[in-house]
Structure 1
Amino acid sequence: MPQHRKRAAVYARFSTDLQRDRSVDDQVAVCRTLADREGLTIVATFVDRARTSATLIGRDGMQDLLAEAKEGRFEFVIVEALDRLSRDQGDLAGIWKRLEYLNIPIRTVNDGTADAISVGVHGLLGQIWMDGHRKKVHRGQAGVIRDGRHAGGKAYGYSPVAGKPGELAIVEHEAEVVRRIFEAYASGDSPRTIATALNADRIPAPRGEKWNASTLNGNAQRGYGILVNDICRGEIIWNRVTMVRNPDTGKRVSRVNDPTEWHRVPAAHLRIVPQSLWDSVQVKRKSRAHQQTKGRRGRGPSRPTRPFSGLLRCGLCGGGIAISKRRGGSVWGRCSTRTESGSCTNLAEMRIDRIEATIFKGLTEELRDPVYVRKYLKAYHKERARLNREAKQNGAGLERKAAKARMAFDRARALYIKGVTDGPEAEAEIHRLQEDVKAAQAILPRIDTEPEVIELHPASIERYLEALADLSDGRLAPDNCDAVAILRELVSAVINTPKERGLDVTVDGFRAALLGESPICRGLMVAEEGLEPPTRGL
């Protein structure tokens, strides 16, 4: 009888777009040769193209391999070398442990079957290689800067010189735009005004479709933004930031380096903006920044200024709604895209407080529906049952703690009575132990032994209706952090679209959050009446 050939999966990976896709074919070929030599049948091939070995996040091929390994689709994994799986110590060990648990050996073309020692050694060597490679790249970029070349990305107003890595040339028509921006800012125009004018003249933006204020302002510490990019004044600054990889998301994030670590190199041939104009703009920027932050000091932790802050959206462009207060206490909003860049046609200004009151009223009416009452009570009793179980589980430990405190107090008091101890120190110790007993007894849980029955209890319904009354009466102030947080979980977006008669307000998310459904509440907001007509199904 023919011998049963065991099933195997092949995994191949290459790191960057700069490497050849042919690399994958070469890896698979040598793995197939090994499989034929050892009598294995390849039933699946998993590939990650242009994926770094520094993280498992985003590596779909590896994730598919691990998922199908759990389903028992193969009995071996074949790779050219362990560094194809990962060069990160933790990730490589994790892959090996998962496959080892599933009794799936890893066979490598170069080093045989992986074991704890080979995984540990290759993981360490891989980590050392990555750290060394990172340092060599950094050293090479430092050499580029010393030569007066540019080691960063493309800057607006410049283009790379073909065949000369790191060398830039001024793009004159873009340089004219840069000078226009600086001159307008120096003359008193705000970044929003400048962006609106550039969009009106249909000048292409550096990225995206439209100019906006953030394109000009950027981030001074990181050197992003046209108004703060030092290359415009003829100086290249490098090593402002260090890129690190978030182990939870796999994304690279930047951290600002200490200014003493920055590399500064004169580049007079790249100057677009005269030094006097540059200095004038920086003075105005600092003055404006001081005025903007003057009233923000001492406000404490950031929190939403209004219950729906960040959830309000323009129905024409999808941008956010900027909120501001006016004299008399009224709260108004307008499309932030219109404000920042002038690229949205939504000129409407809306009363935010009236929108909030209308949503609260509609939400209150909707949540009186019995289906929501049952949902609320189910969640209420479920939470009550959970707390009851935890109290029972923790009760024994707390009882032991209280008993130990009582025993220590009794021993100290007995020694004092018998005259073994005396004096102020002994009395103070007895007093301290007595306080320990009181504290231990105070935290003993009152175990609720009621059965877990979910029913329409009158007291629970009354509390639910009181909460709705708070909502409809407008008592949901931003200070009420818990209530606001719950409300914001229920609302995914409040979309405001201008109409002839007023404002069409669409609220997304209530049913989706509560019941897994997704109908919409919508209505027309007119000058003094709110949503018209009153709508169920909020």
Structure 2
Amino acid sequence: MPRAVIYARFSSDMQREESIDAQVRACTAYAKSKGYEIVDTYIDEAKSGREVTKRDAYKKMLDDASHKKFDIVIFHKIDRNSRNEVDYYITKAKFLNLGIRYEYAVQSIDSSPEGQMMEGMLVAIAAYYSRNLAKETKKGLNENAYKVQFNGGTPPLGYKIVDKHYVIDNDEAEAIRLIFDLFIARHSYKDICCILAAKGYTTRNGQPFSKKSLYDIIGNERYCGTYTFNKIPKGKGKRNSHSKNRPDDFIRLEDAIPAIVSKDVFQQAQARRRINKERPAEYKAKVNYLLRGKIICGHCGSAMGGHTCTPRDKSYSYYSCLDKERIPTKKCLQKQIRKEDAEEAVITKIKNEILNSEAFSVIADKMRKKFANTKNSIDKKIADKQNQLTKAQKTRANLYKLVEKGIDDDFTFSKIKAAKETIDTLQAVIQTLKKSKKSKILSDAEIQKAFQLFNDKVKSMNDVEAKKLLIDLFLDKVIIIDQKLDIHLSTDAISNIIQK
């Protein structure tokens, strides 16, 4: 009995959850009439039909298909599958390559030339509907914008929406004015966050202000009364992108909404932002933070990042908790640690525990044992793949017999193609496993020689490059609690170094 799955979807375009029940009911009745066994049902709720890659259930169905869990996918109609021609045919090709076919509960589409033509027409109609709906929606949003009406989303802090129009929220607006005044008065983002917290101001969701939230507020020209819409094409970057990225239908209306700060105050703030961006090069000097991505705050679990300060023309570099840095009022107890202290402690441990002959002999012994176990494991994998290959070859032979008997439809040929691909893949895997099994176990002298060559390479590099190589190869992570370092090393890279 052929194994079938049902896929159902509803989007936000005038559909409700109840439409899922109707789709599943129709697909179930269709499967019963065909004598199919339903093995699973995939449902995406409130998901667009334009991009299958953004649908969780659809992605799960593709993954299950790769594991040969079913033979047929049943949709209610083509538009429940996809409303994008490229997505439709790419995913259909993936399914066909796996020997899986599409069927539709209420649309008669077969493999005949007429059926394929009908399928192409229905796919095009579904795509047209989606694009036209988006066009009409965009047209309505543009009209709202010209009327200076709220177009959805979350209004900026300091405003509330009344009858689709922006109205100043006086309590929140006080925080906005204070942010601009403090920034123009040359207070740092960190100082502004602390002052706002001391006065009891928070973001709209009740969280402390972060440096990023301040940056976004200071750059938002709505606060001086300018209304904008369509600043950049959808999905093409940040909302405050440079004007060169703006689409043709970008809308900008001066003095269109109530201003919380004057244009003069807003321009002063922008001038200071430009000064910050154009600071002298010495403030932007490149510092190699070698532990970046591997150093963790032991107090709150956040990543730690590099931070450089330059008082009196001398630079000092530290690692500090990024969560605490991002939100200055966050009550993380972590203290900064000097960059040099942290990195030297890690390098010293690597040299003491890995890069010395005594430690290395222990590692080499473990490697030999691991190599022997790996060979046994490879033997088992080869036997397993060989069994799979025998089954795939038998399946292909049976399919050829069907063709000889006159059963030569598209489904049979797709199954033959899938079986051939499986055979080719298994044969390649078996050859790779056999080659890896031929690798010889190195002698102590060969291991020692490889180890010495690696040490010579490290010594020939400049100090920063050598340290970076050692950290990248052997450091798993380092957890910092105040000035105490918990360093976790990994010797997995040793095998690759020696084999080379």
With structure 1 as the length reference, what TM-score do the two structures score? 0.66
Matched, 1:306 2:306: no
SS for the counterpart of 2:487 is strand
Give 1:521-532 correspondences, 5 Å limit.
none
Distance 1:216 1:474, change over 3 A: farther
Higher helix share: 2
How far residue 153 of structure 1 moved from its aligned partner, in angstroms, is 2.8
The unaligned stretches of length 5 or more in structure 2 are 375-437, 496-500
SS for the counterpart of 2:443 is coil
Distance 1:45 1:336, change over 3 A: closer
Alpha-carbon distance in structure 1 between the residues aligned to 2:317 and 2:64 = 56
Alpha-carbon distance in structure 2 between the residues aligned to 1:206 and 1:109 = 48
Distance 1:133 1:244, change over 3 A: farther
Question: 2:49–2:83: 8 Å Cα contact kept in structure 1?
Answer: yes
How far residue 130 of structure 1 moved from its aligned partner, in angstroms, is 3.6
Code of the residue aligned with 2:472 in structure 1: it is R
Q: 1:171 aligns with which of 169, 176, 194?
A: 169
Alpha-carbon distance in structure 2 between the residues aligned to 1:272 and 1:134 = 34
> Which residue in the other structure is 1:285 paired with?
273
Give 1:61-76 correspondences, 5 Å limit.
61-69=57-65, 73-76=69-72
Distance 1:47 1:242, change over 3 A: same
Code of the residue aligned with 2:291 in structure 1: it is F
Code of the residue aligned with 1:274 in structure 2: it is S
Matched, 1:193 2:191: yes
Code of the residue aligned with 2:265 in structure 1: it is L
SS for the counterpart of 2:137 is helix
Structure showing greater relative contact order (alpha-carbon pairs closer than 8 Å, 6 or more residues apart): 2
Matched, 1:14 2:13: no
Question: 2:183–2:192: 8 Å Cα contact kept in structure 1?
Answer: yes
State which drifts further: 201-210 or 167-176: 201-210
Q: 1:211 aligns with which of 196, 209, 212?
A: 209
Alpha-carbon distance in structure 2 between the residues aligned to 1:346 and 1:356 = 21
Alpha-carbon distance in structure 2 between the residues aligned to 1:507 and 1:474 = 26
Alpha-carbon distance in structure 2 between the residues aligned to 1:177 and 1:201 = 9
Code of the residue aligned with 1:57 in structure 2: it is T
Distance 1:211 1:353, change over 3 A: same
Question: 2:208–2:329: 8 Å Cα contact kept in structure 1?
Answer: no
State which drifts further: 126-135 or 360-369: 126-135
- Deviation string, structure 1 residues 401-434 (Cα, Å, up to 9, x no partner): xxxxxxxxxxxxxxxxxxxxxxxxxxxxxxxxxx
Distance 1:118 1:485, change over 3 A: farther
Alpha-carbon distance in structure 1 between the residues aligned to 2:128 and 2:189 = 46
> Which residue in the other structure is 1:334 paired with?
320
Distance 1:191 1:87, change over 3 A: same
Distance 1:60 1:321, change over 3 A: closer
> Which residue in the other structure is 2:421 paired with?
none
> Which residue in the other structure is 2:305 paired with?
321
SS for the counterpart of 2:278 is helix
Distance 1:494 1:70, change over 3 A: closer
SS for the counterpart of 1:83 is helix
How far residue 231 of structure 1 moved from its aligned partner, in angstroms, is 0.8
- Deviation string, structure 1 residues 72-114 (Cα, Å, up to 9, x no partner): 5544322111221222323322332343345443221332135
> Which residue in the other structure is 2:221 paired with?
230
Alpha-carbon distance in structure 2 between the residues aligned to 1:27 and 1:124 = 21
> Which residue in the other structure is 2:254 paired with?
266
Distance 1:510 1:452, change over 3 A: closer
Cα RMSD (Å): 3.8
Question: 1:11–1:45: 8 Å Cα contact kept in structure 2?
Answer: yes
Question: 1:196–1:212: 8 Å Cα contact kept in structure 2?
Answer: no
Question: 1:157–1:175: 8 Å Cα contact kept in structure 2?
Answer: yes
Alpha-carbon distance in structure 2 between the residues aligned to 1:509 and 1:47 = 45
Distance 1:30 1:310, change over 3 A: same
How far residue 28 of structure 1 moved from its aligned partner, in angstroms, is 1.0
With structure 2 as the length reference, what TM-score do the two structures score? 0.70
Alpha-carbon distance in structure 2 between the residues aligned to 1:476 and 1:117 = 66
Distance 1:332 1:184, change over 3 A: same
SS for the counterpart of 1:62 is helix
SS for the counterpart of 1:90 is helix
SS for the counterpart of 1:241 is coil
Aligned residues: 413
Alpha-carbon distance in structure 1 between the residues aligned to 2:39 and 2:172 = 55
How far residue 336 of structure 1 moved from its aligned partner, in angstroms, is 4.3
Question: 1:54–1:88: 8 Å Cα contact kept in structure 2?
Answer: yes
How far residue 120 of structure 1 moved from its aligned partner, in angstroms, is 4.0
